[in-house]
Chains A and B, each alone.
Chain A
Amino acid sequence: MRFCASLLSITLFVLAGCGQPEEQDYAFAIKDVSVRPAYQSLDVRLQQELELSSQAREALEHGVTLTVRLEMELLSDSDLIITHRETRRFQLRYLPLSERYQLTEEDTGELKAFSRLRHMLASMDDFNIQLSTGPLPPGGYELRTRISLDERRLPTPMQLPSWFSSQWQHDSEWSVWPFEVSV
Chain B
Amino acid sequence: MAFRSKRVRRLVLRVLPVTVALVVLLVSLVLVSNVQQEDSGLNHPYVWVLVLTVFALLVVLAAIFHRVISLTKKVREHAPGAMLSARWVRYFLVLSLPPALIVYFFSAYFLTRTVDSWFDVGVEAALADSLELGQQFLENRTLEVRNQVRRLIREIDNPADDVDAVRRTLLANVSAGGPLELSVMEGDGRMVASANINMLADLPERPGDYALLQALDRGEYAAAEPVADGILRIRVIQRLPFDVPGRQGYLLQAIYPLPESITSLANRIEKEYYRYQNLSFLREPLKQSFILILSLVLLLTVLLAILAALNVARKLVTPISKLAQATREIASGDLTHEVRVETRDELGFLVQSFNEMTEALTSASQEAEHSRGQLQSQSEYLETVLGSLTSGVLTVGDNQRVVTANAAATQILGVPDGFFTGRSLSERAEKTPLLAPLFELIWSQIGRGTAEWQREIRLQVHGQTLVLLVRGSRLGKGISHSGGSVIVFDDVTILNQAQREAAWAEVARRLAHEVRNPLTPIRLAAERLRMKLMSKLDAKDSTILDSATGTIVSQVEALRELVDAFGDYAQVPQLVRAPIALDQLIKDVVALYQHEDQRVNFRLKLIAGPPGLSADSGQIRQLLHNLVVNSSEAVAKDQQAEVSIRTRQITQAGKKWLELEVSDRGPGYPAMVLENPFEPYVTFKTNGSGLGLAICRKIVSEHDGRITIHNPTIGGACTTIILPVDMNP
| A residues whose Cβ falls under 8 Å from a Cβ of B | 2-3, 6-7, 9-10, 13, 58-59, 62-64, 95-100, 102, 109, 111-116, 119, 152-161, 163
- B326 beta carbon closer than 8 Å to chain A: no
- Contacts A63-B281, A97-B232; is A156 near B289 (CB within 8 Å)? yes
Can you list 13 A-B contacts (CB < 8 A)?
A: A6-B284, A7-B291, A63-B281, A64-B281, A64-B282, A100-B223, A113-B225, A119-B209, A119-B210, A155-B285, A156-B46, A157-B289, A160-B50
Q: Is the CB of A96 within 8 A of B274?
A: yes
Name the A residues within 8 Å of B227 (CB-CB). 111
Contact partners of B285 in chain A: CB under 8 A: 155, 157-158, 161
Q: Decide yes or no whether B483 CB sits under 8 A from chain A.
A: no
Q: How far is the CA of A116 from the CA of B213 in the complex (A)?
A: 14
From B38, B232, B280, B289, contact of A98 by CB (8 A): B232
Cα separation A99 to B273 with both chains bound (whole Å) = 13
Taken together as a complex, chains A and B put the C-alpha atoms of A62 and B282 apart, in Å, by 9
Closest to A93 in B: B274
Query: When the two chains form their complex, are residues B47 and A159 in contact, meaning their CB atoms are under 8 A apart?
Result: yes
Taking CB atoms, residues of chain A closer than 8 Å to B228 are 109, 111
Separation of A100 and B208 alpha carbons in the complex (Å): 13
Q: Say whether A97 contacts B138, CB under 8 Å.
A: yes
B112 part of interface (Cβ distance < 8 Å): yes
Indicate if the CB atoms of B226 and A102 lie closer than 8 Å.
yes
Report if B491 contacts A (CB, 8 A): no
Compute how far the CA of A63 lies from the CA of B617 in the bound complex, rounded to whole angstroms.
146
Total cross-chain contacts (CB, 8 A): 128
State whether A63 touches B277 (Cβ < 8 A). Answer: yes
Binding site for A on B (CB under 8 A): 35-36, 38, 40, 42-44, 46-47, 50, 105, 108-109, 111-113, 116, 131, 134-135, 138, 208-210, 223-228, 232, 266-267, 269-270, 273-278, 280-282, 284-289, 291-292, 295
From A7, A62, A156, B277 is in contact (CB under 8 Å) with: A62
CA distance A158 to B285 in the complex (A): 6
Instruction: Tell whether, in the assembled complex, residue B284 and residue A115 are in contact, meaning their CB atoms are under 8 Å apart.
Output: no
Q: Which residue of B lies closest to A154 (CB)?
A: B43
B243 to chain A, nearest CB (A): 28
Interchain CB contact under 8 A, B46 and A159? yes
Most buried by B among A2, A13, A111, A119: A2
Give bound CA distance, A161 to B286, whole Å. Answer: 11
Assess the B278–A155 pair: CB atoms within 8 A. Answer: yes
Task: Describe B's contact surface by its main secondary structure.
Answer: helix
> A155's contact among B38, B47, B113, B134, by CB below 8 Å, is which?
B38
Given A2-B116, A115-B210, A156-B43, check contact A98 B274 (CB 8 Å): no
- CB-CB under 8 A from A9, the residues of chain B are 284, 288
Inter-subunit contact B109/A98 (CB<8 Å):
no
Known contacts A63-B281, A96-B270, A152-B43; is A157 also within 8 Å of B288 by CB? yes
Smallest CB separation, B112 vs chain A (Å): 4
Cα–Cα, bound, A63→B113 (Å):
23
Seed contacts A3-B111, A153-B43, A161-B288; 8 additional CB < 8 Å A-B pairs: A6-B288, A63-B281, A97-B134, A97-B267, A97-B273, A98-B223, A100-B225, A160-B47
Known: A63-B277, A98-B224. Is A113-B42 also a contact (CB below 8 A)? no
Closest 7 CB pairs of A and B: A62-B281, A63-B278, A157-B285, A97-B270, A63-B277, A3-B108, A157-B289
A17 to B285, CA, bound (A): 15
In the complex the two chains form, is B266's CB within 8 Å of A157's CB?
no
A160 and B292: CB pair below 8 A? yes
Query: Given A10-B288, A96-B273, A97-B270, does the pair A115, B281 have CB atoms closer than 8 Å?
Result: no
CA distance A99 to B270 in the complex (A): 10
| Nearest chain A CB to B130 CB, angstrom units | 10
Please tell me if the beta carbons of A10 and B291 are within 8 angstroms of each other in the complex: yes
Complex: how many Å from CA A158 to CA B116?
17
Taken together as a complex, chains A and B put the C-alpha atoms of A6 and B289 apart, in Å, by 9
C-alpha spacing A45/B307, complex, angstroms? 60
Q: Enumerate chain A residues within 8 angstroms of B36, measured Cβ to Cβ.
A: 156-157
Q: In chain A, what residue has the closest Cβ to B210?
A: A119
User: In the complex, A89 Cα to B288 Cα: how many Å?
Assistant: 29
Given the known inter-chain contacts A63-B278, A159-B43, please indicate yes or no for A96 contacting B131, CB distance below 8 A: yes
